[in-house]
């Protein structure tokens, strides 16, 4: 028999706390009299107080900290705020603010959120998972903290990423917040600054070996299946070789995906499809040059290959139109330093370490920055691609803003206003002559919350690349002609919930068509998905 929380225990439960919104009858029944101010307020009145308090904080990081504390106290009010104005508040709980938060995570944390699963606890992961108070967990976002955004190895301070991702699951797509766990898998860190920091909260040791990581992850995945058998695992911000290796190992065994590889790929595909509506080009005629050849770059390239195949290209001809360039130069067939996952895109070409020379030789119609190298798209780079493209497509995708390959203004100015631009972090509109150009934010938040909702509603057994291609097409469908006229190639974030609903339905169609669902297909798929959505509203304490 479950014992209902009462008194102080009820107030301290963020899923159930209503603070001044508890009614008089609820206060009497739940032993709350005297523990709260006498006024009884609505959720909207409480929201006004939160807005007032939030405005007192000056910097984005201060606002992040305030919202983190609010999430610890009253999740309903927290999500009511986020959904009231997504374009305004989501950047405070995720990119770009979460990058700064992760850099200072051990210094600013109050109450711990999620689970810290340390390699020193090997053999005890099931026990640790069972310490979580909820049993019906449907989603885990887990990171090793090794490759956080464009910031690198942040160890246990990378916990801010799974916390933020799951907040977007709920705020953008209505996945119930109590059904998810953010997890940091602490293998140590090679970040010397963290190892010397007396306030660092993670393991003070060097990162584990690949063999140790693989053994521990195997125990973790099997333990999750035992303790939370309906759970989907999202791998997030792992080191690039780990990311591909683990996805390949588990994608056909359990319900899982890697957002850096597949989510990034899908949102970029959507941007490409929208951009081609501006340039009036065909996908099979494009040539792509990536600056960066890690998990994000190759993940995008893999999904792009799949999309080109669906539009009539062979796998070989599709890959031949995709080039990679990393810190050691152009990825070409004579390179001996490549990872296995990069080799499919290593084509015959003379070696070069000059990105501008690579542009002049390959003549791409699009350059995509996933390098985490700030200002890597210099004036010379933009001018080079603009020389032979009437509308050069420039995606500067690295996060946070400080790592972006170029700004929107730079891309527009250096291309004489002709560039079709998108970035990973938000940039303000740019006035170029008489035109007001609106840069798009190529953010995974358009994809992974919808993927989560579709998986949640259908209880999907596996996650496939076909589901991510469907998500990309669905996202591109929502870009209006009026948006394209201003250069915007993604739907406005102000309509994020409607966007996610549309994408979730398209993903669910694939899940049912491929026999991956563990529920019966409903007659009205849209109504079925909407019926699963969490809405931030207070529940009766007796529920």
Q: Which residues are catalytic?
A: 94, 165
Name the one residue in this structure whose structure tokens are 């900290």. Answer: 65
Q: What is the token pair recorded at 99?
A: 């990058």
Q: Is the peptide bond before 96 cis (omega within 30 degrees of 0)?
A: yes
Cα–Cα dist 237/158, whole Å: 8
Indicate the DSSP class of residue 309: H
Q: Give the separation between CA 157 and CA 114, rounded to whole angstroms.
A: 13
Q: Are the C-beta atoms of residues 158 and 143 closer than 8 Å to each other?
A: yes
Indicate the Cα dihedral angle 408, 411, 415, 421, nearest 10°: -70
Cis before residue 172, ω within 30 degrees of 0? no
| Nearest-angstrom CA–CA distance, 528 and 249 | 33
Phi/psi at 441 (nearest 5 deg)? -100, 110
Reduced 3-state DSSP string for 250-297: HCCCCCEEEHHHHHHHHHHHHHHHHHHHHHCCCHHHCCEEEECCCHHH
Query: Which tokens is 107 given?
Result: 């210094």
The answer for residues whose C-beta is within 8 angstroms of residue 460's C-beta and 6 or more apart is: 232, 255, 454, 511, 516, 517, 518
Q: Omega before 400 cis (within 30°)?
A: yes
Locus of tokens 């690295």? 398
Coil, strand, or helix at residue 475?
helix
Residues in CB range of 193: below 8 A, 6 or more apart: none
Which tokens is 84 given?
């009231």
Q: Rg of the chain's alpha carbons, rounded to an integer?
A: 24
Residue 48 has a CB neighbour count (10 Å cut-off) of 11
Of 70, 68, 73, the C-alpha closest to 104 is: 68
β-pairing, 435-437 vs 393-396, is unpaired
Residue 432 Ramachandran class (φ > 0 left, ψ -120 to 50 alpha, else beta): beta
Phi, psi of 342 (to 5 degrees): -95, -20
Peptide bond into 303 cis (omega under 30): no
Contact present, 340 and 316 (Cβ < 8 Å) = no
């Amino acid at each position: 028999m479950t014992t209902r929380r009462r008194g102080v225990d009820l107030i301290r439960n963020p899923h159930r706390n209503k603070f001044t919104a508890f009614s008089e009858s609820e206060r009497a029944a739940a032993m709350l009299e005297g523990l709260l101010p006498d006024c009884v307020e609505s959720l909207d009145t409480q929201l006004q107080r939160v807005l007032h308090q939030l405005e007192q904080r000056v910097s984005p990081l201060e606002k992040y900290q305030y919202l983190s504390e609010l999430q610890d106290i009253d999740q309903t009010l927290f999500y009511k705020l986020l959904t009231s104005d997504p374009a305004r508040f989501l950047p405070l709980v995720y990119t770009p603010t979460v990058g700064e938060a992760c850099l200072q995570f051990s210094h600013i944390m109050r109450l711990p959120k999620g689970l810290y699963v340390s390699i020193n606890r090997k053999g005890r992961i099931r026990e640790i998972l069972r310490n979580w108070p909820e049993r019906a967990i449907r989603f885990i976002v887990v990171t090793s903290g090794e490759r956080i955004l464009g910031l690198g190895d942040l160890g246990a301070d990378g916990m801010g990423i799974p916390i933020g991702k799951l907040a977007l699951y709920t705020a953008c797509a209505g996945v119930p917040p109590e059904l998810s766990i953010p997890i940091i898998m602490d293998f140590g860190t090679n970040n010397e600054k963290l190892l010397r920091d007396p306030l660092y909260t993670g393991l003070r040791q060097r990162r584990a070996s690949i063999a140790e990581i693989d053994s521990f992850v195997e125990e973790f995945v099997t333990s999750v299946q035992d303790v939370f058998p309906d759970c989907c695992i999202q791998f997030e911000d792992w080191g690039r070789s780990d990311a591909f290796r683990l996805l390949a190992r588990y994608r056909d065994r359990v319900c899982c995906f890697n957002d850096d590889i597949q989510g990034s790929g899908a949102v970029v595909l959507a941007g490409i499809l929208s951009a081609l509506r501006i340039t009036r080009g065909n996908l099979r005629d494009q040539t792509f040059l990536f600056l960066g050849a890690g998990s994000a770059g190759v993940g995008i390239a893999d999904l792009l290959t799949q999309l080109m195949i669906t539009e009539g290209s062979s796998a070989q001809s599709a890959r031949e139109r995709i080039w990679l360039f990393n810190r050691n130069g152009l990825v070409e067939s004579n390179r001996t330093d490549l990872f296995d996952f990069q080799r499919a895109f290593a084509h015959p070409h003379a070696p070069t370490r000059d990105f501008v020379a690579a542009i002049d030789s390959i003549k791409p119609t699009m350059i995509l920055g996933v390098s985490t190298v700030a200002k890597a798209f210099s004036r010379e780079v933009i001018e080079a691609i603009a020389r032979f493209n009437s509308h050069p497509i420039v995606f500067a995708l690295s996060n946070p803003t400080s790592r972006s390959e170029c700004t929107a203004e730079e891309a527009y100015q250096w291309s004489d206003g002709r560039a079709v631009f998108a970035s990973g972090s938000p940039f303000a509109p740019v006035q170029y002559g008489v035109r007001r150009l609106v840069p798009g934010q190529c953010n995974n938040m358009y994809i992974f919350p919808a993927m989560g909702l579709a998986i949640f509603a259908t209880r999907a057994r596996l996650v496939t690349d076909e589901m991510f291609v469907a998500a990309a097409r669905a996202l591109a469908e929502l870009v209006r002609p009026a948006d394209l006229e201003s250069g915007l190639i993604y739907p406005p974030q102000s309509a994020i919930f409607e966007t996610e609903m549309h994408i979730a339905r398209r993903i669910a169609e694939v899940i049912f068509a491929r026999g991956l669902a563990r529920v019966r297909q409903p007659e009205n798929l849209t109504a079925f998905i909407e019926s699963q959505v969490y809405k931030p509203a207070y529940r009766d304490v007796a529920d």
